[in-house]
C-alpha cells in the first residue's frame, strides 16, 4: 500500500513500456502535409538567409550536448507519489511533442530530397535535433522505470493534415514557445538550484537554442512566402494559431500546476511569461499578435480552466455515458463561447512595421 502510494502505477503495454496517454484535444499532435506543394515552393525571396540557417544546422552546435552524465546514475525513488506521476507525464508529453517534430521533419527531408534539396537538408538536420531531444527525454523516463515505444506511437497515432502554410504557422509557434518554455525553466533553476530535483533541466539551455534556430528557420521560410503573411486570411489564421497554441498550453499547465510547483514555479505566472514572450516573438513575422495584456484574456481562459475541471469530475463519476454527456454539454458550450470571445478580441496589427526592426 505504502509502496503503491510512493510509486504510482502506470498502465504498461509490456514490462517497462508505458501505454501512451490518451489522445485528446490538448495532447501533442502529429502532422502531415502536402509534400508536392512544399517541394514547389520558390525560396528565392529569402534564399540567402535560408542558406545561412542551413550552415548553422550543419555546424551542429549540440553534437556533444546530449550525453547523460553521472548525476543521472542514482535511484530516483526520492521523487515519489503525485510528483512522480506528474514528472512522468511531463517527460511523456515533452517526448511526444519532440518526437512529433522528428517525424514530420524527417518525412519532409525524405520527400523533398530530389525536388527541393535546400529545404530537404534543413528538415533532415532539424529531425536530427528532434530525435536527440525525444531520445533524451525517453531515456529520462527510464529513470522512472518506464519508456515509450516510439515505433508504436508512429503507427498508432492519428495524423492531422495541414497545408504547408498552416504547418508553418503551427511549427513556428511550437518551436518558439518550446524555446521560451525551456529557457524560462532553465533560468529559474539557475537562480534556485535547490528546486532542480532532476538533472535534465541542466540541459535546457543549449537544448532550447536548437528550438530557437528551428523557429528562426520557419520565420525565414514564411518571409520567403510573403503571400502566407500579407492578406486578411493570414491575419485571421495567425490569430487562430496564436490563440490555440496559447490556450492549449495554459489549459494543460494549470491542470498540472503541482508539477510546476515541484520545481518552484507558479504555473500561471510561468505560462503568462511564456505567452508574453512568444507573442512578442511572433510579432517579428506574423502580421498580427494577440492583445494578451487585457485582463479579459486570462479571465476567459480561467473560465475554461474551471470548465475543464468540471468536465474531468463528470468523466470520473460512475454515471451512465448518456447522463455524463448531458451533464458535460453546458461546459463544452461555455468553452466554445469563451474561446470564440477570445478569438474576437481585437488583435494588435504589426504588419505596418514591415521593414523596420520589429
User: Could you tell me which stretch among 11-19, 78-86, 157-165, 169-177 binds Fe ion (CB under 5 A)?
Assistant: 169-177
Nearest to 103 by CA among 120, 119, 126: 126
CB of 74 to Fe ion, least distance (A): 26
Q: How far is the CB of 317 from Fe ion (least distance, A)?
A: 38
CA distances from residue 291 to 169, 243, 246, 313, 346 in whole angstroms, order as listed: 18, 10, 12, 32, 7
Of the candidate spans 114-122, 175-183, 319-327, 333-341, the one that interacts with Fe ion by CB under 5 A turns out to be 175-183
Tell me which stretch binds Fe ion (CB under 5 A): 40-48, 130-138, 147-155, 291-299.
130-138
Using rule CB under 5 A, residue 216 touches Fe ion: no
Residue span binding Fe ion (CB under 5 A) among the ranges 59-67, 102-110, 132-140, 265-273: 132-140
Residue 96 or residue 252: which is nearer to Fe ion going by CB?
96
Minimum Å gap between C-beta 92 and Fe ion is 15
Which residue's CB is nearer to Fe ion, number 85 or number 133? 133
- How many residues line the site for Fe ion (CB under 5 A)? 6
Tell whether residue 211 is a contact of Fe ion (CB under 5 A).
Answer: yes
State the cell numbers at 174.
Answer: 511550437
78, 144 contact by CB (below 8 A): no
CB of 3 to Fe ion, least distance (A): 35
Minimum CB distance to Fe ion, residue 101 (Å):
5
Q: Please identify, using beta-carbon distances, which residue of 274 and 342 lies nearer to Fe ion.
A: 274
**Cell numbers at 170, concatenated:** 503551427
What DSSP character marks residue 299? H
CA–CA dist 288, 346 (Å, integer): 10
Q: To the nearest whole angstrom, how small is the minimum distance from the Cβ of residue 210 to Fe ion? A: 6
214 binds Fe ion, rule: CB under 5 A? yes
> Per CB under 5 A, which of residues 90..119 are in contact with Fe ion?
98
Which H or E run includes 254?
helix 232-255
Task: For residue 304, report the phi and psi dihedrals to the nearest 5 degrees.
Answer: -65, -40
18 touches Fe ion (CB under 5 A): no
In the complex with Fe ion, which residue's Cβ is closer, 175 or 253?
A: 175
Among 18, 29, 128, 133, binds Fe ion (CB under 5 A): 133
- Other C-beta atoms closer than 10 Å to the C-beta of 64 total 8
CB of 98 to Fe ion, least distance (A): 5
Q: Is 84 in the site for Fe ion (CB under 5 A)?
A: no
SS3 annotation, 13-63: EECCEECCCCCCCCCCCEEEECHHHHHCCCCHHHHHHHHHHHHHHHHCCCC
Q: Distance of CA 1 to CAs 4, 7, 9, 127, Å?
A: 5, 10, 12, 43
133 or 272: whose CB is closer to Fe ion? 133
Which CB atom, from 101 or from 164, has the smaller least distance to Fe ion?
101
What span, in angstroms and rounded, lies between the C-alpha atoms of 209 and 183?
9
∠ CA 328-334-338 to the nearest 5 degrees?
Answer: 145
- Partnered with residue 161 across adjacent β-strands are 32
Nearer to Fe ion, 175 or 219 (CB): 175
d(CA 58, CA 122): 9
In the complex with Fe ion, the residue whose CB is nearer, 101 or 347, is 101
Q: SS in 3 state form for 336-352?
A: HHHHHHHHHCCCEECHH
* Nearest approach, Cβ of residue 105 and Fe ion (Å): 8
Q: Which is nearer to Fe ion, 220 or 292 (CB)?
A: 220
Residues that bind Fe ion (CB under 5 A): 98, 130, 133, 175, 211, 214
Amino acid at each position: 500500500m505504502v509502496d503503491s502510494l510512493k510509486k504510482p502505477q502506470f498502465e504498461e503495454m509490456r514490462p517497462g513500456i508505458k501505454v501512451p496517454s490518451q489522445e485528446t484535444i490538448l495532447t501533442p499532435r502529429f502532422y502531415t502535409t502536402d509534400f508536392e506543394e512544399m517541394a514547389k515552393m520558390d525560396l528565392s525571396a529569402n534564399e540567402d538567409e535560408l542558406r545561412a540557417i542551413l550552415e548553422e544546422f550543419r555546424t551542429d552546435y549540440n553534437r556533444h550536448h546530449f550525453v547523460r552524465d553521472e548525476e543521472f546514475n542514482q535511484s530516483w525513488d526520492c521523487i515519489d507519489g503525485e510528483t512522480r506521476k506528474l514528472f512522468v507525464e511531463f517527460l511523456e508529453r515533452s517526448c511526444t511533442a519532440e518526437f512529433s517534430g522528428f517525424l514530420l521533419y524527417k518525412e519532409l527531408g525524405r520527400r523533398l530530397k530530389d525536388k527541393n534539396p535546400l529545404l530537404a537538408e534543413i528538415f533532415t538536420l532539424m529531425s536530427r535535433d528532434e530525435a536527440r531531444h525525444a531520445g533524451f527525454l525517453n531515456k529520462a523516463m527510464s529513470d522512472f522505470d518506464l519508456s515509450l515505444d516510439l515505433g508504436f506511437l508512429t503507427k498508432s497515432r492519428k495524423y492531422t493534415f495541414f497545408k504547408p502554410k498552416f504547418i508553418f504557422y503551427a511549427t513556428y509557434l511550437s518551436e518558439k514557445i518550446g524555446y521560451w518554455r525551456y529557457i524560462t525553466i532553465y533560468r529559474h533553476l539557475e537562480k534556485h538550484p535547490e528546486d532542480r530535483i532532476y538533472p535534465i533541466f541542466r540541459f535546457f539551455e543549449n537544448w532550447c537554442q536548437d528550438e530557437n534556430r528551428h523557429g528562426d528557420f520557419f520565420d525565414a521560410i514564411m518571409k520567403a512566402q510573403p503571400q502566407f503573411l500579407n492578406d486578411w486570411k493570414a491575419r485571421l489564421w495567425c490569430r487562430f494559431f496564436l490563440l490555440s497554441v496559447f490556450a492549449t498550453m495554459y489549459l494543460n499547465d494549470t491542470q498540472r500546476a503541482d508539477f510546476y510547483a515541484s520545481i518552484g514555479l507558479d504555473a500561471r505566472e510561468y505560462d503568462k511569461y511564456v505567452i508574453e514572450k512568444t507573442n512578442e516573438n511572433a510579432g517579428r513575422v506574423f502580421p498580427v499578435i494577440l492583445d494578451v495584456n487585457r485582463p479579459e484574456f486570462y479571465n476567459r481562459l480561467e473560465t475554461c480552466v474551471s470548465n475543464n475541471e468540471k468536465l474531468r469530475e463528470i468523466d470520473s463519476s460512475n454515471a451512465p455515458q448518456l447522463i455524463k454527456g448531458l451533464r458535460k454539454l453546458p461546459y463544452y458550450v461555455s468553452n466554445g463561447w469563451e474561446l470564440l470571445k477570445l478569438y474576437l478580441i481585437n488583435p494588435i496589427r504589426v504588419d505596418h512595421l514591415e521593414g523596420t526592426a520589429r
